[in-house]
């Protein structure tokens, strides 16, 4: 291979590598968005907040989730869900006493009492 041919090959390789890298980043980013990994914490916290709001006293809610942690701030009436780096909190308006009990890494019990 002559010098010019080698240079053109190198340019093409750099081009393809660059486009390939961008494509991989895009696919990873879109996959994260489409599978809902980023919005999982948002959906979970909102679902739990709605369940707490709708629940009558002396109700126990058994929550199971794939990953992350659920915590509750009864002072501000907020439910906080952390999944990896994503955190989302949502406030509930139930007037009853709400408490959370962690069973294991993937499940918790939320109790609504008078």
Partner 1 sequence: MSKKAQITGETIIWVYRFVIIGLISLSLVIIIGNKYAEKYDIRPAESIILTEKIIDCIKNSSDIDMNFMSSCLNLPNIKDYYINITMIPDSNYNKSVIIGNSDLKVMCNILNSGKTKSAKSPACSYSDYFIFFDNQKFSVKLETDIGKYEKNLK
Q: Residues interacting with partner 1, by CB under 8 A?
A: 11, 15, 18-19, 22, 26, 29-30, 33-34, 38-39, 42-43, 46, 49-50, 53-54, 76-78, 90-93, 95
Closest approach of partner 1 to the CB of residue 103, in Å: 26
* Closest to partner 1 by CB, 91 or 105: 91
Minimum separation from the CB atom of position 18 to partner 1 (A): 7
For 32, how many CA atoms within 13 A lie in the half-sphere containing its CB?
A: 11
Shortest distance (Å) from residue 84 CB to partner 1: 17
Q: Which is nearer to partner 1, 90 or 108 (CB)?
A: 90
Cα angle 65-95-47, degrees, rounded to a multiple of 5: 25
């Amino acid at each position: 291979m002559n010098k010019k041919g080698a240079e053109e090959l190198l340019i093409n390789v750099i081009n393809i590598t660059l486009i390939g890298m961008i494509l991989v980043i895009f696919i990873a980013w879109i996959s994260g968005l489409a599978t809902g990994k980023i919005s999982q914490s948002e959906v979970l916290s909102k679902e739990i907040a709605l369940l707490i709001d709708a629940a009558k006293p002396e109700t126990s809610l058994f929550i199971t989730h794939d990953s992350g942690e659920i915590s509750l701030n009864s002072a501000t009436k907020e439910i906080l869900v952390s999944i990896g780096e994503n955190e989302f909190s949502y406030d509930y308006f139930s007037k009853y006493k709400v408490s959370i009990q962690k069973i294991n890494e993937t499940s918790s019990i939320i109790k609504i009492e008078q």
